[in-house]
Amino acid sequence: MKQGNQTNRRRFLQTSIAGGVAALTSGATAKEIVLEPSRSTGRDIFETGTYGVPSQFATSARIKGSANGLHGASRTPLAETHGIITPSGLHFEVHHGGVPDIPPLEHKLLIHGMVDDAKMFTMEDIMRFPSVSRTYFLECSGNGEQEWSSPSASTTTVQATHGLTSCSEWTGVPLKLVLNEVGIRTDAKWMLAEGDDSSRMGRSIPMWKVLDDALLVYAQNGEFLRPEQGFPLRLFVPGFEGNMNVKWLHRLEFGDKPWWSHQEVARYSDPRPNGKKVVFSFYMDAKSVITSPSSTMRLNGPGFYEITGLAWSGKGKVARVEVSTDGGATWRDAHLQTPIMTKCHTRFRLPWNWNGRDAILQSRVTDDTGYVQPDYEQLYVEKSRIGMMHNNAIQSWKVAADGNVSNVHHV
Ligand SMILES: Nc1nc2c(c(=O)[nH]1)N[C@H]1C(S)=C(S)[C@@H](COP(=O)(O)O)O[C@H]1N2
Ligand SMILES: [Mo]
């Protein structure tokens, strides 16, 4: 039996090499491989607790309270996540007033204002409505803020430059179903969503979005929301800036005009070159970034590497991702991994044979509205020279001849 496995293994390695991966410089040849005898019995099921944890050898690390000035933020280590789903425990977090611990049996959602019948819903009431599960990205509009205002150090990783985006399967109730129970008056044009944390986060959401795809979310990646993501209930407005996805949701008020809350007037508004500020920008524009190779990684000599990364758009699906290895002089289409879903991270991949010379890696996404991700020069013109929110410019990583990859911001 064991003999058979060894032969299979040898055959597998031989076919791989014959199959055209000869450019790989690492990996032992079959004749060097000596299989160890079977291991002794491993750990028992419950030895590491009743909830599974990653391997002790998996080194994914979070940066909590990272150096971008945002109050209470952690970032997703994008270089160390695979596929499109962010593990719940690595979902980025932004808290304006800490994380409250809310007992779900005590939690209630008040729906009032321009409605026929104001009502209070328990979590049990909400979960009795028909639910849906949808995979969406969530991105803080402050993602990349530092890169825009004052380009950060060459050792800044993709976690620090782009880690305020994550992607999960969210389960919840379409908000419009619940609204049938209260009867929204026809003159209601806006909804205020308010959180039950100390920041009392309040955002005005336009009625058309409420009736389109807004969700009352209670679960994430197959289990209840983490406290940090808004347990027991959060508003989800797919493709809209993170801030509008109000966590610990306890109040929805309907009215005929926006509330001009502190968040929308002071913080989540965008300066423009003409000195004016744009409010209610809502959408996260199409954006992409190469997650590997990326800053602080090291390439082990010339040869084959896979360039891979993530692309997304708050307005729809990713239609195309192009990759440049020469600082934007030439571009090649990357392979888009299916499924490609609306308002969802899409994984792209491109094989690359590195010749060992200096290279500048960039990615550029086009979404299905035809919108193309801008470079920094375009961003300066279209948005602002010194910006804060909604940086979706093309990111550049430099691969030096010694294999070291660094953040060169833009070229
Ligand atoms: N109640 C409440 N909702 C909130 C926040 C908050 O501080 N309190 N932060 C907002 C911001 S700025 C962002 S970017 C997202 C972050 O969601 P996450 O922590 O689940 O990633 O939640 C938003 N919803
Ligand atoms: Mo945010």
Going by the DSSP 8-state scheme, the letter that residue 305 receives in this structure is E
* Higher-scoring residue by pLDDT: 53, 244: 244
CA-nearest residue for atom 23, ligand 1, is: 243
| CATH of 287-408 given 3.40.630.30, 2.160.10.10, 2.60.40.650, 1.10.10.60 | 2.60.40.650
Place of tokens 């991994």: 337
- Nearest ligand to residue 201 Cα: 1
Atom 10, ligand 1: which residue's CA is nearest? Answer: 243
Of 96, 203, 217, the residue with max ligand 1 atoms within 8 A of its CB, to mutate for a pocket test, comes to 96
In tens, the pLDDT along 361-402 reads 999 999 999 999 999 999 998 888 777 889 999 999 999 999
Q: How many CB atoms lie within 10 A of CB 154?
A: 15
Instruction: List where CATH 3.90.420.10 sits in the chain.
Output: 88-278
Model pLDDT for residues 107-141, shown as the tens digit of each residue: 999 999 999 999 999 999 999 999 999 999 999 99
What tokens does 364 get? 């550029």
Measured by CA distance, the residue closest to atom 12 of ligand 1 is: 243
Atom of ligand 1 minimally distant from the CA of 249: 1
Ligand 1 nearest atom to the CA of residue 91, by list position: 21
Report pLDDT digits (tens) over 280-290: 889 999 999 99
Index of the ligand 1 atom closest to the CA of residue 200? 1
Q: In the chain, which segments carry CATH 2.60.40.650?
A: 287-408
Using the predicted structure, report yes or no on whether residue 307 has a pLDDT greater than 60: yes
Taking the CA of 390 as reference, the closest ligand is 2
**DSSP type of residue 178:** H
CA distance 400 to 403: 5
User: What's the chain's Rg over C-alpha atoms?
Assistant: 24
Q: Is the minimum distance from the CB of 225 to ligand 1 under 6 angstroms?
A: no
For atom 21 of ligand 1, the residue with the nearest CA is 93
Helix or strand run (H / E) with residue 27? none
Among 41, 180, 168, 194, smallest CA distance to 92 is for 168
Task: Please tell me the distance between residue 361's alpha carbon and the centre of ligand 2 in angstroms.
Answer: 28
The ligand placed nearest to the CA atom of residue 388 is 2
Phi, psi at residue 287, to the nearest 5°? -155, 155
Q: Out of 95-104, 221-230, 364-373, pick the least confident.
A: 95-104
Q: Which ligand is nearest to the CA of 227?
A: 1
- Region 29-52 average pLDDT: 83
Residue 319 has pLDDT above 50, yes or no: yes
CA distance 387 to 104: 39
What number does CATH give the domain 88-278? 3.90.420.10
- Residue whose structure tokens are 């899409």: 346
Q: Decide: 197 in ligand 1 pocket, CB within 6 A.
A: yes
**Strand extents, DSSP E, 123-225:** 132-139, 165-174, 190-195, 202-206, 215-220, 223-224
**Ligand 1 proximity of 263 Cβ (cutoff 6 Å):** no
Any ligand 1 atom below 6 A from CB of 250: no
Ligand 1 atom closest to the CA of 96, numbered from 1: 7
Which of 86, 95, 221, 244 has the most ligand 1 atoms within 8 A of CB, as the residue to mutate?
95
pLDDT reported for residue 62:
66
Per-residue model confidence (pLDDT) at position 48 = 83
Q: What is the pTM of this model?
A: 0.90
Q: CB of 94 closer than 6 A to ligand 1?
A: yes
CB 225 within 8 A of CB 101: no
Distance (angstroms) between ligand 2 centre and the Cα of 283 equals 13
Which residue from 271, 304, 280 is spatially nearest to 379, judged by alpha carbons?
A: 271
